[in-house]
Amino acid sequence: MFFLFSKILSFLLMPLTWFFVLLIISWRTKEESKKRRIRIAAILLILVFSNRVIFDRTMRIWEINAVEEPKEGTFDALIVLGGLSSYDPQLDRIQFSRGADRLLQAIELWKKGVAKKIIFTGGSGSILHDDILESDKIREYLKKIGIPDSVMIYENKSRNTHENAALIKVLLKKHSLNGKYLLITSAFHMRRAMACFTKEGISATPYSVDRYSGPWKLEFDYLFLPSAETLSDWNTLLHEWVGCITYKFRGYI
């Protein structure tokens, strides 16, 4: 129920959802002056949430900054949080999203000898297709590209960050990994991830990847032109805020 509730709440807070809500309200409003004010509010809403400067400044405050690349042999395990791929049953092929940086950075760190083990955690984040498990598909993919199973530890039951941390705790005990851990996830997600792992008593070093906030640019399109990509990126950030609030309410962080 909580899983479904968080999905619905995220949808209700999307800027486009509120844009269409305002349009519907204006359509049903009879008073012309009030109708005009509501439509102006809808336009301003879209202009604000499609402006890259506003988004970047907000995300820069929220994201946990990346740390310097660790030295060889520093950690016992790299913990990679899922939510970075989907599965196309028609082509029987895994498809990576922007969050794939989490896995790619982990593989690079492993190749450099930063840690001997990579733990990947991620089950199904889908409401309808809960039988397709991300960890299982990642395992198949990594075997195809030559990453040995002896390097990897997989957790395929979790559906959210809270469950990631809780089930990783069990895995760490099972595999007698009692040393240092590097937690790898997107910079925007690191606050909630670290809070969840701390709550479970797991002391990990954050390693932020996949930064959304870009550098300041003195360019006309960056400063003034609306961006559909920025609207989508706001959905990501708002979803994360919803996650933090609901996790706090549930006692997960």
Q: Is the four-CA dihedral 67, 72, 76, 77 of positive or negative sign?
A: positive
Q: Which of 160, 202, 144 is nearest to 152 (CA)?
A: 144
The owner of tokens 């336009």 is: 43
- For residue 89, give the CATH number of its domain: 3.40.50.620
Are 184 and 242 found together in one domain?
no
Over residues 149-182, the pLDDT tens digits come to 999 999 999 999 999 999 999 999 999 998 899 9
Residues 20, 130: one domain?
no
Can you read off the two tokens belonging to residue 145? Answer: 């590209």
Alpha-carbon gap, residue 203 to 183, rounded angstroms: 9
- pLDDT one-digit tens code per residue, 205-248: 999 999 999 888 889 889 999 999 999 999 999 999 999 999 99
Considering the domain boundaries, does residue 113 fall inside one? yes
Name which residue leads in pLDDT, 6 or 56.
56
pLDDT digits (tens, 9 = 90+) for 45-88: 999 999 999 999 999 999 998 888 898 888 999 999 999 999 99
- Kindly state whether residue 214 falls inside one of the protein's structural domains: no
Q: How confident is the model at residue 188 (pLDDT cuts 50, 70, 90)?
A: very high
- Confirm whether pTM is higher than 0.75: yes
CA atoms of 47 and 65, how far apart (whole Å): 28
Distances (CA, A) of 119 to 103, 171, 240, 243: 10, 9, 23, 23
Decide if 104 is inside a domain: yes
CA distance 189 to 210: 10
Task: State residue 1's pLDDT score.
Answer: 62
Q: Which residue, among 245, 163, 170, has the nearest Cα to 196 in the 3D structure?
A: 163
Query: Same structural domain for residues 93 and 161?
Result: yes
Helix H or strand E encompassing 75: none
Domain assignment of residue 91, given as a range: 77-209
81 lies in some domain: yes
Whole-angstrom distance, CA of residue 233 vs CA of residue 191: 17
Residue 235, in any domain of the structure: yes
Kind of pairing between the strands at 152-155 and 181-186? unpaired
Q: Are residues 85 and 199 in the same domain?
A: yes
3 state SS of 21: helix
Show the tokens assigned to 75: 């950690």
Residue 217 lies in a domain: no
pLDDT at 215: 83
pLDDT of residue 158: 96
Q: Look at residue 40 in the predicted model and tell me its pLDDT.
A: 97
Is 68 within a domain?
no
Strand partners, 154: 120
Q: CA gyration radius for the chain?
A: 21
Give residue 19's pLDDT.
95
Residues 6, 46 share a domain:
yes
Residue 145 has pLDDT above 70, yes or no: yes
- List Cβ neighbours of 68 (8 Å cut-off, separation of 6 or more): none
Residue 9: its pLDDT value, please? 80
At residue 2, the pLDDT reads 64
Does any domain span residue 215?
no
HSE value, Cβ hemisphere, 13 Å, CA-based, for 204? 32
- Amino acid 6: pLDDT: 72
Tokens of 90: 């028609």
Answer yes or no: do 31 and 127 share one domain: no
Number of domains in the chain: 2
Question: Are 143 and 241 contained in the same domain?
Answer: no
pLDDT band with cut points at 50, 70 and 90 for residue 119: very high
pLDDT in tens, 122-137: 998 766 667 789 999 9
Considering only CA atoms, which of 91, 101, 62 is closest in space to residue 239?
A: 62
Are 83 and 197 within one domain?
A: yes
**Sign of the four-CA dihedral 53, 55, 58, 62:** negative
